[in-house]
Amino acid sequence: MLKQERQAYILHQVNLHNKILSANLCQEMNVSEDTIRRDLLELSTNGKLVKVHGGAMSTSFSHTTAQNETIYASDSKKIIAQKAASLVKDGMFVLTTGGTTIIELARALPAGLKATFLCGSLPALFEYMQHPNIEVIVIGDKLSRNARITVGPQAISQVKAIKADLCFMGINAIDPEHGISDNDWDVVMLKKAMIQTSRHVVGLSIAEKINTIQAIHLSPVSGLHTLITDLPADHERLKPYSDKGLRLL
C-alpha cells in the first residue's frame, strides 16, 4: 500500500472512530510499527490528526470545543442529534457519554428545556452550559486525555448511583451479532455502568459505524432500547437491529 493510500485510510479511521490504535493499524494494513509511527508523525505535523501515546485521535475530538467544520460527518450527526433531542422532556435526568455526536445533541436541545444533564465529557459539558435552564452535573474526577472524558472508579461509582431517565450513548461500532464495541478500555467500563443504571439507553450511530466491530466488546445490542442513525428507520441495513427488538429512529 502506497503512503498516500495508507494515510488516507488512517485519516478516515481516525475521523470515523475519533481515536485509533497504532497496533490495530499495523494489523489492518499489514505494515510495520515504524511505518505507522512515521505516518502518524507526518499527519500530526501537518495538522491532520493529533498523535497520542499508542495511536492518534481526531483534531475535533482533541479540542475542548469543536466547530462544525472540524466534525467528521457533521450533517449526519446533526440529523441524529435532532432525532435524539426530541426524546428529552422537561424534568428528565439525562446521562450522556462523550463524542462529537453528543456535542451536536447538546447544540440541538430546545432553548427553553429544563432538565438535568449528567456527563463527564469536557466538550459536551461546555455545550450544555450554553443552555440557561439546564442543570449540569459533572461526573468523575479522573480525566482521560485521549477521550476528553472522566473515567475510572470514581466516575463509575457515581454513574451507578444514578437512575437516569435517558442515557445517550455515542456508538463507536455496532454489529447485530457481535454487539457494541469500542477501542478504549476505560471508556468501555464507563459505558457498561451507564447501560446498567439507566432506564432507557439510546445509541447514537452514523451509518458508517453500522455493522462494524472494534477491539473491545461492550454489550450485546440488547443493552440498547433505541438506536438512532442518520438512515431512515425502515432502511434495510437496520432490519437486523429491529429484529433484535430495538426501536429505530
Cα atoms in the 13 Å half-sphere on the side-chain side of 224: 28
Share of the chain above pLDDT 70, in %: 94
Taking the CA atoms of residue 227, residue 155, residue 23 and residue 71 in that order, the dihedral angle to the nearest 10 degrees is 50
Distances (CA, A) of 89 to 93, 187, 235, 246: 9, 27, 27, 21
The CA-atom distances, in angstroms, between 46 and each of 26, 145, 209 are 21, 21, 27
pLDDT in tens, 9-34: 898 888 888 788 898 899 889 999 99
Q: Which cell numbers in the block locate residue 64?
A: 475542548
CB 180 within 8 A of CB 221: yes
For residues 128 and 159, the answer to whether their CB atoms sit within 8 Å is: no
User: How much is the pTM?
Assistant: 0.87
For residues 7, 10, 16, 19, the Cα torsion angle rounded to the nearest 10 degrees is -130
**Domains of the chain and any CATH numbers:** 3-57 (1.10.10.10), 68-248 (3.40.50.1360)
Dump pLDDT digits (tens) for 61-110: 655 555 555 678 899 999 999 999 999 999 999 999 988 999 999 999 99
pLDDT digits (tens, 9 = 90+) for 184-203: 899 999 999 999 999 999 99
DSSP annotation of 108: H
